[in-house]
Amino acid sequence: MTRLSRYIGGTVFGSILIALLVVVGLDIISVLLDEIGAIQANYHFSDVLVYMLTKLPSAIYEFIPFASLIGCLFGLGMLANNSEVIVMRAAGVSLLKIVYFVIKACLLFIVMSTIIGEFFSPYLDQLAEGRRDYLRNGESAQDSTAGIWARDGSSFIHINVVFPGGVLFGVSRYQFADDKSLREASFSTRATFNAFDGYWVEENVSITRFTDNQTMVDKQLTRRWMSELTPDVLQLNILTPDALSISSLQRYIEFLEQQNADVASYELAFWRKVLQPLVIVALVLIGISFVFGPLRDSTMGLRVFVGVVLGISFKILQDMLGPFSIVYGFPVFLAVLLPILLCAGIGLYLLKRSG
């Protein structure tokens, strides 16, 4: 039985890996075509390749559920076409045991997905976006079409480029008085965060101070900047909720709840990440059920086509229910869970009929 488990698991694992390579490869080509149009003096084709490679873990994380479905249909379909599944069933191997072997082969992808989403993709996404923005805008003065805006007390801040670990480029700060009048404007080419003491150090600072009758300009090589903005807070601002780690989302949701702010979009991203392992299992279940049920005698091409349709349908349903829950106020947890339960329910029903 151990040899059979390895054989089925190896076939399915290899099929999922091939599907993942194909799907991620198509996504990379799409990104390449988009980025080629943005090539300019300081942003070359080699930089586009670096950007794509840095974003690669995020693409892998995003497409693992879809590839698991396609790979399951493809791998089990090969065994069915070679009549190996019939021989296994005739030898007394139950359908439940085959399902167990297949899901066990998917566990590595579940673990890999969790590790990538929690530890690698948030950091690398910020690095990729920061490097690209730096090459396009660098330390130049404020460009309102790029970078991020943030508020820190009575100050409004624009940052051209944010690198992970607390390195900023092109920092414009506008300090206002209580009567809303502009009191001081400054620009620094670079700022680094001193994690030990909890403050920023600005470099090459140009300061313009506004008084009633005149303005005064001051230049400093370095300046200490005390701020509530930390590298973690800036990461939350520069990355979309779907690109953040589970732990970052949880901390930010708690912070927003303390501020009585809306947390729905971040809760949606949080539950999608937490429940992604169940998404993979549900899609694999429906893939197995189709091989043993409606697609038992179908060609490999039809199985792959059905897998693509099922994956896209699941994604559309998930993307519809998420915003729908935010607009109409029902729990986002249910919006994420319902498509999973629907897929798992259909899969189990078809497996029960096949068994």
pLDDT along the chain (355 residues), means of 10: 84 93 93 85 87 93 93 86 80 84 90 93 90 75 68 87 89 88 91 91 92 85 90 84 90 82 88 94 90 72 80 87 83 92 89 76
Is 34 among the domain residues?
Answer: yes
The whole-number pLDDT of residue 222 equals 93
pTM above 0.75, yes or no: yes
Is 145 among the domain residues?
Answer: no
Is 237 among the domain residues?
Answer: no
If asked whether residues 49 and 173 sit together in one domain, one would say no
The whole-number pLDDT of residue 197 equals 87
If asked whether residues 13 and 87 sit together in one domain, one would say yes
If asked whether residues 105 and 194 sit together in one domain, one would say no
- Angstrom distance (rounded) from CA 72 to CA 339: 19
Is 270 among the domain residues?
Answer: yes
Is 115 among the domain residues?
Answer: yes
Total domains present in the chain? 2
- Angstrom distance (rounded) from CA 351 to CA 103: 14
Buried b (16+ CB within 10 A) or exposed e, 240-251: ebbbbbbebbee
The whole-number pLDDT of residue 53 equals 92
206, 227, 248 — which closes off a domain? 227
Is 242 among the domain residues?
Answer: no
If asked whether residues 130 and 15 sit together in one domain, one would say yes
The whole-number pLDDT of residue 144 equals 53
Instruction: Give the closest residue to 151 by CA, choosing from 168, 174, 130.
Output: 174
The whole-number pLDDT of residue 278 equals 94
The whole-number pLDDT of residue 142 equals 57
| Residues spanned by the domain of 159 | 154-227
Instruction: Give the closest residue to 281 by CA, choosing from 64, 25, 36.
Output: 64
Is 148 among the domain residues?
Answer: no
If asked whether residues 98 and 35 sit together in one domain, one would say yes
Is 21 among the domain residues?
Answer: yes
